[in-house]
Amino acid sequence: MESNIEGKVIVITGASSGLGAATARHLSARGAKIALGARRQDRIQSLADELVRNGAQAIAVTTDVTRHEEVKALVEAGVNAFGRVDVMINNAGLMPHSPLERLKIDDWNRTIDVNIKGVLYGIAAALPYMKAQKSGHIINVSSVAGRTVRPGSAVYAATKSAVLMISEGLRQEVKPYDIRTTVVSPGAIATELPSSVTEPDVAGLIGKFYEQYAIPAESFARAVAFAISQPPEVDVNEILFRPTRQEG
């Protein structure tokens, strides 16, 4: 079924490591053309070079998802390079957990800017092209945390819950244009996400949890590939998965 991936133009934010990089490798190996976006230009350029050496078509565009004009430029670059955009993967995210009483307001603002505004800016950048094409697929990354909250995770969980609602609203709105929507909600995955925790004591606890439970980023890439590879009349709206041993 994954032959439905071949030839598709796929834009990925947060592509310099973790989920984004693993997904870029997985999809490009199946014939997709990839536009990589992230703040770390050296990392995404190195990844793009790797994909090209392996026979894929890929470009890298420095992108801060908190800036609408940069996300728009990423999608435009993909269209200019490959002629269209078939899939937009809004993957960039932060997880700076801390108890609310510590008043980490800068962390709150960054989390909202990346996890919510970044998704909205990705939708805004890709949607006009997909409407004109009367086809496309927007994939937003939420989290298991979008359904449950624990002490210290209130702001992060709220942003990931918002991604669920945005995705469902989008699903209902884009039906006239034959655009598909998927929200992927993973549990603990081995990525750099825990490094965004700024409180040392919280970071220590999160680190231990991920060491115990986290599964490889390729698990996320396979879930994304499953959604994309479905025939056009099949719209996989939601994928929720976690490590088998993870309780919450």
Residues carrying an active site annotation:
156
The secondary structure of the chain, three-state, reads CHHHHCCCEEEEECCCCHHHHHHHHHHHCCCCEEEEEECCHHHHHHHHHHHHHCCCEEEEEECCCCCHHHHHHHHHHHHHHHCCCCEEEECCCCCCCCCHHHCCHHHHHHHHHHHHHHHHHHHHHHHHHHHHHCCEEEEEECCHHHCCCCCCCHHHHHHHHHHHHHHHHHHHHCHHHCEEEEEEEECCECCCHHHHCCCHHHHHHHHHHHHHHCECCHHHHHHHHHHHHCCCCCCCCEEEECCCCCCC
Task: Give the integer Cα–Cα distance in Å for 248 and 245.
Answer: 9
Kindly report the backbone phi and psi dihedral angles of residue 22, in degrees, each rounded to the nearest multiple of 5, phi listed first: -60, -40
Residues 37 and 63 sit within 8 Å (Cβ to Cβ): yes
